[in-house]
Each structure stands twice: as C-alpha cells, then as structure tokens.
Amino acid sequence: MIKLKQSASTGETVRIQQSNILSRALYRLYKERALWLLALPGILWYLIFAYAPMYGLVIAFQNYSPARGMFGGPWVGFEHFISFFSSQFAWRVVRNTVLLSVYGIIFGFPVPIFLAIMLNEVKVNWFKRFAQSVSYLPHFISVVIVVGMVVNFVSPEGIINQAVVALGGESRNFLIMPEWFRTIFISSVVWQTAGWGSIIYLAAISGIDPELYEAATVDGASRIKQIRHVTIPCLLPTITILLILNVGTILSVGFERVLLLYNPATFETADVIATFVFRRGIGGGEFSYGAAVGMFQSVVNLLLVVSANAISRKVSETSLW
C-alpha cells in the first residue's frame, strides 16, 4: 500500500514538472515572439524546401514511374544502390568528388584566412577599402559568367596561352586535357570565393581584445609574432567551425561549375556524383537510380560532419553542438 502511494506521488510530481517546463517554454516563446517572427521566414524556407521534399527519397527503393505516382512503383529494396556500387562509374565519380573537395579544402580554405590577416594589417584606409572591394567583387558574379571568363582565359587563343607562347612554350587546349581540369576548377573557386570568405575572419579579428596586442607589443613582439601568437590563436574557434562545415560537404562539389567546365574528354577527372546523377537521373530518365546515388551522397556527408564535430569536440573543445 505504501509503495502504491509512493508511485502515485512520484507520477504526480513528474506531471507537475512537465507542466512547469511547458509553461516556461510557452512564456519564453511569447516573450521572444519578435525574434521568432524574424526567424519564421528562414524556418519556413527550410521546412518547405529542405525537409518536406525528403519524402521523395522513397523512390530510391522502388522503380519509380511518373505515370504511377510517388508510391505506385514496385519496391526493389537496395537494388539501385547495389547497381551503382557494382558499376564501373562508381569508383570514378566518388574519387573525383572527394579529390575536388579535398583539394578545395587544402588550397582554398586557408586563402580567406591569409587574406583577412593581410587586410587587417593594411593601415592605409583607402587602399584597404579598395582591396576589399576588389576581392569581394567576384562573389557577386554569376558562376556562368565566371566559367565563361575562365574558358576564354584558357582557350587556345586566350591570355594564358598567349603568355605561354610569349615565354617560348606551345599553345594548348587546357579544357580538353583531363590532367588540367582540377587545377582550373580549384583556381576558379578560390578566385571567386576567397574575398567573400574573408569577411567572417575579418569580423572575428575585429572582436579580438586590443589589450592582447598591446601586451604583446610591450613584450617586444613584432607584427609577425603578434599574428602568430595572438591573431591566429584567437581565430582558431572560427576556423574549426568552418572547417567542420567544409568537411561535411566533401561529397558535394559545385554542380553548376563542373557541369559548365567539363566535357566528355575530361570525364576521367571531372565527372562527379552530382553530374553523374544529373545525366543518369534527369537526362536518362532513371529517377530511382539517381535518387539512390543522391541519397548515398547525403548520408555520407551527414556522417562526415557528425564525425568531424565529434573529433573537434574531443581535441579542441570547439564544436557545432
């Protein structure tokens, strides 16, 4: 009898605690209603365009036909996944995707950091504003226009080949040479994104306590040593977060840029998962096959960002969550 009374008392206590938590949550929601209204458009965008379409992943496990509808096709389980991994293209597209992403991180990720540090060290205001404007400008240019400029630069009659010929070399058509595709791709990405990416690091640098620089100056540290022992350590949390986000997109290479730059002659080094899905899924009408490959890409990206976050939390105590 005593145990029954204690159990009832415990259950009542839990209900009261849950009620209090709900009341506090509703009160906080009401108190911060203006902030939630500001965030509402972004939340709705993600719900409508990012989460709602996820139900379409069901076609990766069936032979989808537009005439039969989303749930009308026969179920085939993991047949499309097995077909992809056993094909001769699987290793090629995964390898190319990973290499382009890794090269982008190795050669492209540090550039905004160095650019932000250099801009911060510029003391002539008009030149600093001019340099910032020039570096930001490519970000606002369409990828199509950027690729068009790159094609003109590396064409047989372009400025690159003109310089090569002037130095005694021979003109080449770099766009049909597989060994040059990754260099051209990464260079165009770095040129277009470095300036805009430096904004985050400039904001982080502006938040560094000036007293740290003053203390370093009193200790006799030069500007180089101040950058090494003050600026870079204070930037490490920001660098870590952005690196985690970049690792989470290793299997997501810029689809538009690759599609506009590659051609059948460069498929060996240029064909990535996104373009393969486009050709087979949209171009070839194999919707279920394309959905299966795209789902594989998304799952691997999720695992990578979770793993990178866990490693970062253990090593540096800085993480996304």
Mean of pLDDT over the chain: 86
Residue 160, Cβ neighbours under 10 Å: how many? 17
Looking at residue 4, its pLDDT comes to: 44
Classify burial at 250, counting beta carbons within 10 Å of its beta carbon; exposed 0-12, middle 13-18, buried 19 or more: buried
pLDDT, tens digit, for every residue of 37-85? 999 999 999 899 888 888 888 888 988 888 787 777 788 889 999 999 9
What is the radius of gyration, based on Cα positions, of the chain?
27
CATH H-level, domain 80-143+178-315: superfamily: MetI-like (1.10.3720.10)
Q: What is the pLDDT of residue 115?
A: 93
Residue 74 or residue 115, greater confidence: 115
Structure tokens at 164: 């090569």
Tokens standing for residue 129: 């504003």
Length of the chain, in residues: 321
Give, as one character, the DSSP assignment of residue 280. Answer: I
Q: Is 139 helix (H, G, I), strand (E, B) or coil?
A: helix
160 CB contacts (<8 Å, ≥6 apart)? Answer: 153, 154, 174
pLDDT of residue 55: 84
Helix (H) or strand (E) holding 73: none
- Tell me the C-alpha distance between 12 and 85, whole Å: 55
* Residues 6 or more apart in contact with residue 111 via CB below 8 angstroms: 190, 194, 197
Q: Are 132 and 195 in contact (CB under 8 A)?
A: yes
- Residue 22 has a pLDDT of 79
Which pair of tokens denotes residue 34?
A: 């203006």
* In the chain, % of residues over pLDDT 90: 31
Q: What is the signed CA dihedral for 207, 211, 217, 219, rounded to 10 degrees?
A: -130
Mean pLDDT, rounded, for 127-131: 90
Average pLDDT over residues 28-41: 88
Residue 126 is which amino acid? W
Average pLDDT over residues 290-315: 85
pLDDT of residue 3: 46
Alpha helix positions (H), the chain: 2-31, 33-46, 79-85, 90-103, 110-121, 125-136, 143-154, 159-166, 178-206, 210-218, 223-226, 232-247, 255-261, 267-270, 273-277, 287-315
DSSP 283: I
Q: Position of tokens 């695992």?
A: 303
CA angle (197, 199, 205) in 5-degree steps: 120
Interior angle at CA 226, CA 223 and CA 229, nearest 5 = 150
pLDDT tens across 182-230, in order? 999 999 999 999 999 999 999 999 889 889 888 988 888 888 899 998 9
Whether residue 317 contacts residue 305, with contact meaning beta carbons closer than 8 Å, is answered with no
Query: Which pLDDT score is estimated for 116?
Result: 92
Question: What tokens does 149 get?
Answer: 């400029």
Q: What is the pTM of this model?
A: 0.81
Task: Tell me the pLDDT tens digit for each residue of 147-164.
Answer: 999 999 998 888 999 998
Domain boundaries, the chain: 80-143+178-315
Residue type, position 66, single letter? P
Distance CA 259, CA 279 (A): 10
Q: What's the rounded Cα separation, in Å, for the pair 192 and 205?
A: 22
